[in-house]
Chain A
Amino acid sequence: MDTTPMANGAPMLKVENLEGWYAESHVLHGVSFDVRPGEVVTLLGRNGAGKTTTLRAIMGILSKRQGSVQFGGRELIKLAPRDIARAGIAFCPEERGIFASLSVDENLMLPPQVKSGGLSREEILEMFPNLRERLSSQGTKLSGGEQQMLAIGRILRTGAKFLLLDEPTEGLAPVIVQQIGRTLVDLKARGFTIVLVEQNFRFAASVADRHFVVEQGRVIDMIPNEDINNNIEKLHAYLGV
């Protein structure tokens, strides 16, 4: 049924019955989905559906979680965030997490290399030329779009080929959103595998292979991107647009 060219083979990430809590409130109620090597998948859903929480649970940032997160056949659910990062998963948070007390260059060079084969500093600056002129500025003095580029750029150096991107287009001007879209297509061509949380469904459709619909802490549907036009009504109902 699936005709995505790079989609054969075992999944790179396999999430099964993932549950998660913020303090006492139960947010994830058994999230299951899988990501194949080289794919771009999105988690779509309304605000509060549990998309961001799913990324945080995969990354181990959520202190209370259970279920199974297998990455390259290895179980991650018991690992600390730093060991999950070292396994080769890189995370770009929704709030971007640019450090105010670090310069742009220091922000870029902060994440340590966990694998060989990451992009060089030069390649990243070619991908995001805006950053080059601002290297010595304070990280948080950048515009929102530049901060987003910095947040994505700095995790490309680490050698992790599996990226979790939480709403990279949120609050950005259309021209910047397009630039980020081109970047994601470029990254896919370079062999990166990407899980994207998105509210902007049009943007999601322009970059992704498959879409998982998240509702009330569960994945309730999967829509291959090529079928998306046949499922517009259904998606609108899911997303409430």
Chain B
Amino acid sequence: MFELLGISPQVLFGQLLLGLINGSFYALLSLGLAVIFGLLNIINFSHGAQYMMGAFVAWMLLTYTGINYWWALALVPIIVGAFGVGIERLMISKLYHLDHLYGLLLTFGLALIIQGVFRNEYGVSGLPYSIPAELSGGQNLGFMFLPNYRAWVIFASAIVCFCTWFAIERTRLGAYLRAATENPTLVGAFGINVPRMITLTYGFGVALAAFAGVLAAPIYSVNPNMGADLIIVVFAVVVIGGMGSILGAILTGFGLGIVEGLTRVFYPEASAVVIFVIMAIVLLFKPAGLFGRAAS
């Protein structure tokens, strides 16, 4: 077996895999943020809390009703997405005529409340959620051991990201969404119900976060802070990719996961900050982000 700069391939590929896993979550979450920001023009600060809710609802379904992981993957995004729809209808939609800052404050406050409620109810020690039997074990690839569940997370995330990209960039419904992102007034004047589209878009973005939460449940412990820890990095990912860019969010998510993994191999001390360093550099040279269009 070869060695690179004195680093064994097991370590290198192990960290690359870990990077790809993290990247899968960055991509799913920043994609949801990008979709929401594109149409609603608000930064959804409760995104992390909604991701955490996804994991918790999956855990509750399993613990209280015996509904398994596979059903949870389908049901939890619908349940948490519906919660998002309610939030948008009852609260966020009342703020569209105000400065965007109010939407940010509202969703930030909601995140604190949601996290507080779960912390109160379930504590912070974390709840176990076991890997579904079909995905336990792993494959020995010769140069590394690949746990089946982790391969599944990367695969599922890539598929969902691709489908979302396809739906937005290549379908009729996506054309409505892109058009409304550019000029909601004119799209409304064509007879399209833009407020309903905004509500459903928010619900969809929240559902993506919840889906990521279900994927995360068997890997990370299900605990009320899991979203808050992750979302800060995800915001940096979104800034680097460029606000509102769908493809940018996906590519930057996976890419930065890998960069983070490689940093952990070659210069572990910097692994926690590398994304923020990249963010600072990108902001200096391309303030609109790598894939963002400068505001006109």
Interfacial residues, chain A to chain B (CB-CB below 8 A): 59-61, 80-86, 90-91, 93, 97, 99-102, 106, 109-112, 114, 155, 158
**B194 in complex: contacting residue of A82, A90, A100, CB < 8 Å:** A82
**A110 in complex: contacting residue of B179, B181, B185, CB < 8 Å:** B179
The count of A-to-B residue pairs whose CB atoms sit within 8 angstroms is 60
A86 to B188, CA, bound (A): 10
Task: Flag if A93 contacts B186 (CB, 8 Å).
Answer: yes
**B175 in complex: contacting residue of A83, A110, A114, CB < 8 Å:** A110
Task: Flag if B183 contacts A97 (CB, 8 Å).
Answer: yes
A206 to B186, CA, bound (A): 29
**B179 in complex: contacting residue of A82, A84, A91, A102, CB < 8 Å:** A102
A85 to B192, CA, bound (A): 9
Fill in one digit per residue for B174-195: 1 if any A CB lies within 8 Å of its CB, else 0.
Answer: 0110110111011111111110
Interfacial residues, chain B to chain A (CB-CB below 8 A): 172, 175-176, 178-179, 181-183, 185-194
In the complex, which residue of chain B has the Cβ closest to the Cβ of A164? B189
Residues of B within 8 A of A112 (CB): 190-192
Task: Flag if B190 contacts A99 (CB, 8 Å).
Answer: no
Would you give the shortest CB distance from A92 to chain B, in whole angstroms? 10
| A99-B178, A101-B179 known; A114+B191 contact, CB < 8 A | yes
Residues of A within 8 A of B175 (CB): 102, 106, 109-110
| A109-B172, A109-B175, A110-B176 known; A101+B190 contact, CB < 8 A | no
Looking at chain B's contact residues, is the secondary structure mostly helix, strand, loop, or mixed? helix
| A82-B192, A85-B190, A110-B175 known; A99+B185 contact, CB < 8 A | no
Residues of B within 8 A of A110 (CB): 175-176, 179, 187, 190
A109 to B183, CA, bound (A): 16
Residues of A within 8 A of B188 (CB): 61, 80-82, 85
Residues of A within 8 A of B192 (CB): 82, 112
Would you give the shortest CB distance from A78 to chain B, in whole angstroms? 15
Pairs of residues from A and B, 9 with the lowest C-beta to C-beta distance, nearest first: A85-B191, A111-B190, A101-B178, A81-B189, A97-B186, A106-B175, A81-B188, A99-B179, A86-B191
A203 to B267, CA, bound (A): 71
In the complex, which residue of chain B has the Cβ closest to the Cβ of A97? B186
Which residue, B176, B189, B194, has most C-beta atoms of chain A within 10 A? B189
**B189 in complex: contacting residue of A61, A100, A102, A106, CB < 8 Å:** A61
Task: Flag if B189 contacts A59 (CB, 8 Å).
Answer: yes
Would you give the shortest CB distance from A82 to chain B, in whole angstroms? 5
Question: Can you identify 18 A-B contacts, CB atoms within 8 angstroms?
Answer: A61-B189, A81-B189, A82-B191, A82-B193, A85-B188, A86-B191, A91-B189, A93-B186, A99-B182, A100-B182, A102-B178, A106-B175, A109-B172, A110-B179, A110-B190, A111-B191, A112-B191, A114-B191
